[in-house]
Amino acid sequence: MPAKNYTVAVVGALGMVGTEMLATLERRDFPIGELRPLDIPEAEGRTIAFKGKEYTVLAAREENFKGVDIALFSAGGDASLELAPTAARQGAVVVDNSSAWRMDPEKPLVVPEVNAHDLKWHKGIIANPNCSTIQMVVALKPLHDAARIKRVVVSTYQATSGAGKKGNDALSDEARAYLETGQVQDSKGFQYQIAFNCIPHIDVFEEHGYTKEEYKMVNETKKIMNDDSIKVTATCVRVPVWYGHSESVNIETEKKLTAADARKLLAKAPNIVVIDEPARNEYPMPLFSNDRDETMVGRIREDLTIDNGLNLWVVSNNIRKGAALNAVQVAEALVSMDLVRVP
């Protein structure tokens, strides 16, 4: 990275993803000259630790974006709609983790391993994709480049942390109550009890019986891959796991790829780890994602029902690669490509 240091704001600094953004910036030694943690006005005055120093949290207001070079947002869609344009007008490049800007044709939707080139046309706001979409397209990209993917059928098994702290609290409280009493009186985090259960319902239902989360995977995949011809269908399920989304991904390609071909392509791809030794019971699991940045791929096998089909099992940490890490990687790409607009 260039020698310059940057003024970086983290909006939603006290939240689950904001906290991980700060940890990721520190772990990857991002070139920060000034750190500005921002959150809701009620949190102003609280402190956070970063690289051995204490920083005071400021309110996410217009005046506190003055002089910011890069602003990482994880404060929800409403805050992003209100404040991201404000930050951009003052010269910051915003990387937004909400869904507010993802399908805006004027805003790049970026996973650096897949489409970092789209950063070149940013106008101050860059969208971070949905967590489930991110890990899937990381795995799809090398296969698409080699054989062109025609169709994707994906089923997700999404951790409770995808719903934030309240999701993990719900799983913990419900599991404890169920083990102590044999029942759960009230589920406060999801539509139904999540402990010892799976809920095939993430976000709201929309047309044709699909949920908004499922449509996110369909539409975001096409935009990131820059290929509207890819057919994508998804079923998204919440499962009783704290961290790490898992996905069963079936793809159909134009050219034939054997399982061995796919393993070689994936093993060479950036930030992918292939764990695929079924004879030794080795395959990706959410448990392996707790302290891992890479996307893990395993259970790679040919779909025997069609000529050019593959099945994959894809696992990644939804708070790291699915949110905070991807945002920081976008910021790193902006720096390395000299695309940070400094006033």
**30, 51 Cβ separation under 8 angstroms:** no
Helices (H) and strands (E) in the chain, counts: 8, 14
Tokens representing 175? 């599991």
3-state class (DSSP) for residue 1: coil
Q: Is the separation of the CB atoms in 132 and 156 below 8 Å?
A: yes
Which residues, 6 or more positions from 260, have their beta carbon under 8 angstroms from its beta carbon?
none
Catalytic residue among 122, 144, 236, 245: 245
- Tokens (6 digits) for 146: 């080699």
Catalytic residue among 117, 122, 131, 144: 131
Q: CA torsion sign, 225 to 229 to 230 to 235? A: positive
Cα 174 to Cα 51, 167, 180, 203, 236, distances in angstroms? 36, 11, 10, 21, 21
Q: Does residue 245 have an active-site annotation? A: yes
- In the residue annotation, 122 being an active-site residue is answered as no
Tokens of 75: 């404060």
Pairing of strands 6-11, 70-73: parallel
CA distances 325 to 112, 243, 293, 319, Å, are 11, 14, 7, 8
Q: In 159-303, where does DSSP find H-type helix?
A: 165-181, 212-225, 259-268
- As annotated, the active-site residues are 131, 245
